[in-house]
């Protein structure tokens, strides 16, 4: 049985379905109310970087060449802290389910403290941006632009990480429309700032790639300030003690890092494995690399919204674990899987049956002679995507479900061992000793994603997660 809410802390009625409403608990209606805003807003940071690239395409080709590697390096560095901080979502969900609102605020504050330290440390890396990209060995002109963009992006790290922590206060309680609205504003600020700063429109100087980086810093800062205003408004302060529960809690912080760090390390190693995979593909040639980049870009049309659905599953599973009702969490997860399977299979059909339609915007300004080799190769690669995207949905839904209960160590070990043993190492061996081609590399990637999906599915069915909790068993004494 779940712990009842304290008399002065009435149960919420506008986020996750409360315990006394069994008719809709675990239903598609409940899932969609929480998932749809997250699915819409889950790619907001990616959209910001996409906007930067689109505007820079009209500025200079050197800037376009520099923005992607610099952006990937920044995300790789920040992903460890970001993934750890974001695990506050599970703590919030489980405390909310247990009716312990003071601990909701306390858990978010531990994430805020970690985000603050991590953001400052990443800011310091900006001091070494020049030597770092000079060491990588790109052309000097490109390396200088990469250093400018990366060094500027580093200053978005602190507001980005603080935003990740404070977002959990809302998403973990099912207030996902708040998250969506904040993300919309952030993207709008980024796009407007790109227009003004990259080209020097209005009273602003022409700043090029540095302007793109500043645009992202401004957008992340606006999102952070909005969340500060929302989190510390009168009602949250009264109901959750968002100010009075701000003390550093050593025991809670240790538990937060114990469960959250494996997720952060999982994020980091996952990003790193695909970064290495892309570098290996680059050995095959420019056309192969361009086709792989484009195939993965098209895959994100399906993949990014599924991350939002996964966060919703993690929130609902955490909430039901906090209530002591894991059977409802099982129902929610299966509902999410059916939804994600239908969504992914639809995209699989599009990838196979209508590849020219989704490729048309990418080659609108290219001649047939220039684009034909890449186009033909992308169409072949999309067949691989159509094979693995169903299993990708399986990995996201069931992986987020078990992490929402606290099963983060298995997720870390299994996903990283699978990525490096099934995708990265075989690709290295194939290219180095057997002169393998692009199809062989993509088969390794496909096998990895299939195994990942099946493994998380098996772990979910085993049910170990049902007896897990990240929150303490009894209320903390005041």
Write out the chain's pLDDT in tens, 478 residues.
333 333 333 333 344 544 445 447 778 889 999 999 998 887 777 788 778 877 887 787 777 777 777 888 888 899 999 999 999 999 999 999 999 998 999 999 999 999 999 999 999 988 888 888 888 766 788 888 888 999 999 999 999 999 999 999 999 999 999 999 999 999 999 999 999 999 989 888 899 889 999 999 999 999 999 999 999 999 999 999 999 999 999 999 999 999 999 999 999 988 888 888 877 887 788 788 778 878 887 888 788 889 999 999 999 999 999 999 999 999 999 999 999 999 999 999 999 999 888 888 766 655 555 578 888 898 999 999 999 999 999 999 999 999 999 999 999 999 999 999 999 999 999 998 888 889 999 999 999 999 999 999 999 999 999 999 898 876 554 4
pLDDT at 14: 45
CB 64 within 8 A of CB 57: yes
Q: Name the nearest CA neighbour of 406 among 467, 462, 455, 456.
A: 467
For 60, 130, 188, 196, the CA distances from 201, given in Å and listed in that order, are 16, 28, 17, 5
Give the model confidence (pLDDT) of 377-426 as tens digits.
989 999 999 999 999 999 999 999 999 999 999 999 999 999 999 999 99
Looking from the CA of 188 toward its CB, the CA atoms found within 13 Å total 8
Give the model confidence (pLDDT) of 53-105 as tens digits.
778 877 877 777 777 778 888 888 999 999 999 999 999 999 999 999 989 99
pLDDT at 474: 60
pTM of the model: 0.86
pLDDT at 121: 94
pLDDT at 213: 92
Q: Counting beta carbons within 10 angstroms of the beta carbon of residue 296, is it exposed (0 to 12), middle (13 to 18) or buried (19 or more)?
A: middle
Listed by start position, the domains of the chain span 1-35+261-478, 42-248
């Amino acid at each position: 049985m779940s712990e009842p809410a304290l008399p002065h802390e009435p149960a919420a009625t506008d986020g996750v379905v409360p315990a006394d409403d069994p008719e809709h608990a675990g239903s598609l209606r409940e899932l969609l109310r929480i998932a749809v805003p997250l699915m819409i807003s889950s790619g907001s940071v990616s959209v910001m970087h996409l906007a930067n690239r689109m505007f820079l395409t009209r500025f200079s080709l050197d800037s376009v060449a520099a923005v992607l590697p610099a952006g990937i390096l920044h995300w790789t560095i920040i992903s460890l802290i970001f993934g750890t901080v974001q695990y506050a979502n599970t703590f919030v969900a489980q405390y909310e389910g247990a009716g312990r609102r003071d601990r909701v605020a306390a858990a978010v504050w531990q994430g805020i403290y970690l985000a603050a330290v991590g953001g400052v440390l990443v800011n310091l890396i900006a001091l070494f941006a020049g030597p770092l990209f000079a060491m990588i060995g790109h052309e000097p002109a490109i390396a200088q632009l990469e250093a400018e963009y990366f060094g500027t992006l580093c200053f978005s790290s602190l507001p980005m990480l603080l935003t990740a922590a404070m977002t959990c206060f809302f998403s973990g309680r099912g207030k996902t429309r708040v998250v969506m609205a904040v993300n919309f504003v952030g993207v709008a600020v980024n796009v407007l700032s790109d227009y003004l700063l990259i080209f020097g429109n209005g009273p602003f100087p022409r700043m090029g790639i540095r302007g793109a980086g500043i645009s992202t810093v401004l957008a992340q800062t606006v999102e952070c300030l909005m969340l500060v205003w929302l989190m510390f408004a009168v009602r949250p302060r009264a109901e959750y003690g968002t100010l009075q529960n701000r003390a550093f809690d050593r025991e809670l912080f240790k538990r937060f890092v114990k469960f959250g760090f494996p997720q952060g390390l999982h994020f980091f190693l996952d990003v790193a494995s695909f970064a290495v995979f892309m570098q290996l593909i680059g050995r095959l040639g420019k056309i192969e690399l361009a086709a792989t980049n484009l195939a993965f870009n098209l895959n994100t049309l399906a993949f990014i919204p599924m991350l939002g659905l996964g966060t919703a599953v993690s929130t609902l599973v955490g909430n039901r674990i906090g209530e002591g009702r894991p059977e409802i969490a099982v129902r929610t997860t299966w509902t999410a899987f059916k939804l994600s399977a239908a969504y992914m299979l639809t995209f699989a059909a599009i990838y196979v049956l209508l590849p020219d339609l989704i490729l048309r915007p990418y080659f609108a300004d290219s001649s047939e002679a220039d684009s034909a080799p890449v186009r033909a190769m992308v169409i072949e690669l999309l067949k691989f995507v159509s094979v693995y995207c169903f299993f990708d949905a399986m990995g996201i839904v069931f992986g987020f479900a078990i992490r929402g209960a606290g099963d983060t160590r298995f997720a870390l070990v299994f996903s990283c061992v699978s990525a490096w043993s099934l995708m990265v190492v075989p690709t290295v061996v194939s290219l180095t000793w057997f002169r393998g081609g692009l199809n062989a590399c993509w088969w390794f990637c496909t096998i990895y994603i299939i195994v990942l999906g099946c493994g998380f599915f098996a772990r979910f069915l085993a049910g170990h997660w049902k007896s897990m909790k990240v929150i303490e068993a009894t209320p903390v004494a005041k």
